[in-house]
Structure 1
Amino acid sequence: MSDRNALGISNGNLVVKPRGLDRLWGFRKQIVVPLDRIERVEVELHPRAIRRGLRAPGLDAYWKRSGTFHPGGERHYWNQSGSGPVLVVVIAGGDPFARLYLSVADAESAREMIAEEANLTL
């Protein structure tokens, strides 16, 4: 899987930093989410099957999605490349997004790390 996002924990927040040109295509240098607002963390094995809704702003071309998408009145952030699994972070209240869909080197390890830091049961 493509490692398109750097994940870190800082001061009680999940910090997502898109890598390389993904910052430009997705219109984000970083996304900061308080750990206590994370409801769930999942690994989605088939992200291409997920309804994305309208893209604005961002990129949706071939095997690359980067930016803000609006399915069913929600606001989701995608930074995904390729056809492999993605990390899905579900955020209470939808601020800054209701969900994050992220390509990371090891989605399962990232899920476990975030769940542990946010005190979520898997």
Structure 2
Amino acid sequence: MANKITLQTRQLVVEPQGLDKIWSLRKKVVVPYQHILSATVNSEISRASRGWRVLGTSIPGYYYAGTFKNQGMLNFYNIKAGRTVIVIKLQHEKYHSLVLEVKNPQALVAQINQQIKQ
């Protein structure tokens, strides 16, 4: 599993696991729930253009980890191509979105969306 997601009382914490922490150049990303606009499951975004790699690792067609700039916005990726991932849209944060490979994406998206409604 590429990412550990922890739903705390007031914030979401993303921690790349194992070597993904090194390849993404991020130990963790912490986002308050009030800065999350939505969370969705997406099986196509891993094939879409990520833009320019700013920090991290890119193995075209296989693995993307780190900060990517697309249309003037920074996005954090930690995915392998062709996998179903979650996309967390943000506001008032460094990143416009977090694109993450996780275990049980549908269940996690439901939990995140429940938290941001509260």
TM bracket (short chain): over 0.9
Q: CA deviation at 1:18?
A: 0.4
The aligned counterpart of 1:80 is: 79
Greater Cα offset, 47-56 or 33-42: 47-56
Q: Distance in 2 between matches of 1:34 and 1:96?
A: 12
Secondary structure at the counterpart of residue 21 of structure 2: helix
SS in 1 for 2:49: coil
Alpha-carbon RMSD across the aligned residues, in angstroms, is 1.3
Structure 2 unaligned residues grouped into runs of 5+: none
The equivalent residue for 1:58 is: 56
CA distance in 1, matches of 2:46, 2:25: 21
1:20 aligns with 2:15: no
Q: Which runs of 5+ in 1 are unaligned?
A: none
Between the two proteins, what is the percent identity of the paired residues?
A: 26
User: Any conservation in 2 of the 1:88–1:101 contact (CA below 8 Å)?
Assistant: yes
TM value normalised by structure 1: 0.90
Between the aligned partners of 1:8 and 1:48, the Cα distance in structure 2 is 22
Name the CA distance, whole Å, in 1 between partners of 2:27 and 2:67: 13
Please report how far the alpha carbon of residue 82 of structure 1 lies from its aligned counterpart in structure 2 after TM superposition: 4.2
What secondary structure, in the 3-state scheme, does the structure 2 residue paired with 1:75 have? Answer: strand
